[in-house]
Amino acid sequence: MNPKLYKKQIEELGIDGLEIKPDSLIEATSMLIELKKYQNILMQIKYNVRIDSRNISKEYITKLDELNEHIETNSERKAKKIKEAQKKLLKEREEKLVPYDGLDILIDGYLVQIEDSKIFLREFIKNQVK
């Protein structure tokens, strides 16, 4: 899937700017449930992002392997051209993977925030029950 679509999915969750200020036990519990839901969705998106990254890497490994086979059977001049093509492929691969790496970092940041919020809510609930 396109990295922009993943980004859109994340934005649609509405996590950014989410305030965790419960006024009651019921509100804290419902926020905790909501955060677990967000966490599960983000974990699924992260899984999909990693699968896409892995597929892109595999695709370029295959292309590089094909070029490597040609180096062994061609002249020195053609080998230089093939080396240049390899560099170009590596650069292309990195350019394709950068948005996925950014998404991975973004998701990790949200997951840390969610985990911190869950700890806060559990403490709030524990204090309310006492």
Per-residue pLDDT in tens (0 to 9) along the chain, 130 residues = 899 999 999 999 999 888 899 999 999 999 999 999 999 999 999 999 999 999 999 999 998 888 777 666 656 777 778 888 889 999 999 999 999 999 999 999 999 999 999 999 999 999 988 7
| pLDDT for 53 | 97
Q: Is 73 left (phi over 0), alpha (psi -120 to 50) or beta?
A: alpha
Alpha-carbon gap, residue 51 to 32, rounded angstroms: 29
Tokens of 78: 């053609």
Residues in the chain: 130
Q: What is the pTM of this model?
A: 0.85
DSSP summary character for residue 19: -
| pLDDT for 21 | 92
**Is residue 17 classed exposed, middle or buried when 0-12, 13-18 and 19+ CB atoms within 10 A define those classes?**
exposed
